[in-house]
Copies of this chain bind each other. A is one copy, B any other.
Amino acid sequence: MTIKIRSLDSTSAGFKQQLDTLLAFEASTDDAIESAVATILQDVKARGDAAVLEYTNRFDRVRATGMAAFDIGQDELQAALESLPHAQREALQVAADRIRVFHERQKQELKGFSYTEPDGTVLGQRITPLDRVGIYVPGGKAAYPSSVLMNAIPAKVAGVAEIIMVVPTPDGVKNQMVLAAAAIAGVTRVITIGGAQAVGALAYGTDTIAAVDKIVGPGNAYVAAAKRRVFGTVGIDMIAGPSEILVLCDGTTDPDWVAMDLFSQAEHDELAQAIMLCPDAGYIAQVEASIHKLLPTMPRQDTIRTSMTDRGALVKVRDMEEACEIANAIAAEHLEISAENPQQWADKIRHAGAMFLGRFSSESLGDYCCGPNHVLPTSRTARFSSPLGVYDFQKRSSILCVSEAGAQTLGKVAAELAYGEGLQAHARSAELRLKPQP
């Protein structure tokens, strides 16, 4: 079965409209899911463990008689790690170490500050970690140990005291690589529950599960709906849309490499988006030929074919400058600049979740082990949001320590403005600190 990939040309009249249509993605909200999730959350809030136990037994087809059955002890996590083939265990450890090093840099950058004014007033900002965090890890097919590392390690580096991981085990089947990743990442507690009931338990707390301050990690539509609903009671990370790659190529990279990079995004799921921008029509044809050649060799070729046919594109642009402009409009989750001297183009990019520079920087290296996080803003949200990081597990508090002298000058300013806004108690509160005029 062949594959037909959309070809676009930036000089054609309808290009902007075509691009907008290609990029358009609206997460559908399903009323049935919304209502099921609302019921489950309400029930977990009201009945706690009893509700979590019932839903878990029903949805995951298990027969636990109490919540204790869902806990996986540190011994079992360690045993899972030891059960892995040597190369796999080694790879997980290398990845974890590199992720930790990168995220330690993030922590170093954010230390807070404090400064003292001439009158003795001290102003500043303090950075503290969250107390307790929940990490949602999907069960079944999409159970990715790399996600465990990418979600748990930043929390650990931030100094979060308790990291509670929930991972459903449908039919009681555990993923040893996921448990091994939890051991390596230093997760505090692993509970084999999932779905909206797990999100509810983490957000509201139960007799056996302490309420957390934030819930992160990917999940299905039920989990996403539940996270949206508990937002405010706890923090959440972004609700991720389909994954995307945008490759800017000057035509100097082996076309097989670019084709495979596009596949690596497309294989994720049928809604994933893989787009290449290139000024060289001849090279675009070579990449297309590589796609046709390599597709039959891919185990996940059906997913790749659907995703590339429905949402992929090979775009001929005027030049690399125009490619950068289009890249800024797309604000891709993953942006590969596969070109000679990539920095010249990187300097023109304002919006991207992660930028992979030069032809050796394949997205897949970043997905697993370079060090930067693979949880990145999707669906053009890189215009205003950031990769998951240590900063997502920290928060700031302002510090204001006004001296008696400071209260004299600041008090008059505050009172003037407070009266202007009609807030007299604000004004009086400032004025009470003023010394009587001599």
- Is A201 in the interface zone, CB < 8 Å from B? no
- Is A356 in the interface zone, CB < 8 Å from B? yes
- Is A379 in the interface zone, CB < 8 Å from B? yes
- Is A293 in the interface zone, CB < 8 Å from B? no
Q: A123-B370, A365-B407, A384-B130 are in contact. Are A356 and B400 (CB under 8 A)?
A: yes
Chain B residue nearest in CB terms to A265? B425
- Is A186 in the interface zone, CB < 8 Å from B? no
- Which residues on B sit within 8 Å (CB–CB) of A88? 416-417, 420
How many copies of the shown chain assemble into the complex? Answer: 2
Q: Is the CB of A355 within 8 A of B260?
A: no
Chain B residue nearest in CB terms to A132? B383
Residues 324-348 of A, flagged 1 when their CB comes within 8 A of B and 0 if not, give 0000000000000000001100100
- Which residues on B sit within 8 Å (CB–CB) of A429? 257, 260-261, 263-264, 362-364
A residues 336-381 in Cβ contact with B at 8 Å: 342-343, 346, 349-373, 376-377, 379, 381
Chain B residue nearest in CB terms to A27? B232
- Which residues on B sit within 8 Å (CB–CB) of A410? 365, 369-370
Q: Is the CB of A354 within 8 A of B384?
A: no
Chain B residue nearest in CB terms to A122? B357
Q: Is the CB of B396 within 8 A of A350?
A: no
Q: Is the CB of A368 within 8 A of B414?
A: yes
Q: A400-B354, A414-B364, A424-B300 are in contact. Are A385 and B395 (CB under 8 A)?
A: yes
- Which residues on B sit within 8 Å (CB–CB) of A189? none
Q: Is the CB of B382 within 8 A of A417?
A: no
- Which residues on B sit within 8 Å (CB–CB) of A403? 360
Q: Is the CB of A105 within 8 A of B113?
A: yes
Q: Is the CB of A367 within 8 A of B414?
A: yes
- Is A220 in the interface zone, CB < 8 Å from B? no
Complex: A397 Cα to B112 Cα, angstroms = 21
Q: A350-B128, A367-B414, A413-B91 are in contact. Are A400 and B384 (CB under 8 A)?
A: no
The tally of residues in A whose CB lies under 8 Å from a CB in B reads 124
- Is A31 in the interface zone, CB < 8 Å from B? no
Q: Is the CB of B365 within 8 A of A401?
A: no
- Is A145 in the interface zone, CB < 8 Å from B? yes
- Is A433 in the interface zone, CB < 8 Å from B? yes
Q: A27-B232, A91-B416, A232-B381 are in contact. Are A425 and B355 (CB under 8 A)?
A: no
Complex: A121 Cα to B422 Cα, angstroms = 59
The smallest C-beta distance from A37 to any residue of chain B, in angstroms, reads 15
- Is A118 in the interface zone, CB < 8 Å from B? no
The smallest C-beta distance from A339 to any residue of chain B, in angstroms, reads 12
- Is A209 in the interface zone, CB < 8 Å from B? no
Q: Is the CB of A413 within 8 A of B299?
A: no
- Is A95 in the interface zone, CB < 8 Å from B? yes
Interface of A is mostly: mixed
Q: A399-B355, A414-B364, A421-B145 are in contact. Are A109 and B102 (CB under 8 A)?
A: no
- Which residues on B sit within 8 Å (CB–CB) of A381? 232, 235
The smallest C-beta distance from A35 to any residue of chain B, in angstroms, reads 14
A residues 86-131 in Cβ contact with B at 8 Å: 87-88, 90-92, 94-95, 102, 105-106, 108-113, 115, 121-123, 125-126, 128, 130-131
Q: Is the CB of A417 within 8 A of B146?
A: yes
The smallest C-beta distance from A248 to any residue of chain B, in angstroms, reads 14
A residues 387-415 in Cβ contact with B at 8 Å: 387, 389, 391, 395-404, 406-407, 410-414
- Is A322 in the interface zone, CB < 8 Å from B? no
- Which residues on B sit within 8 Å (CB–CB) of A365? 400, 402, 407, 410-411, 414, 430
* Given contact pairs A267-B423, A372-B400, A386-B395, a sample of 20 additional A-B residue pairs in the complex whose CB atoms are under 8 Å apart: A88-B417, A91-B413, A109-B125, A110-B110, A128-B350, A130-B383, A131-B351, A145-B420, A146-B421, A232-B239, A263-B429, A351-B395, A352-B397, A355-B399, A356-B400, A357-B400, A360-B402, A365-B400, A384-B395, A386-B396
Interface pairs (11), CB distance under 8 Å: A88-B417, A95-B413, A109-B112, A123-B371, A264-B428, A298-B425, A300-B422, A355-B397, A357-B401, A364-B418, A364-B427
Would you list the 7 A-B pairs with minimal beta carbon distance, nearest first? Answer: A235-B384, A372-B398, A263-B425, A91-B416, A354-B398, A386-B396, A360-B407
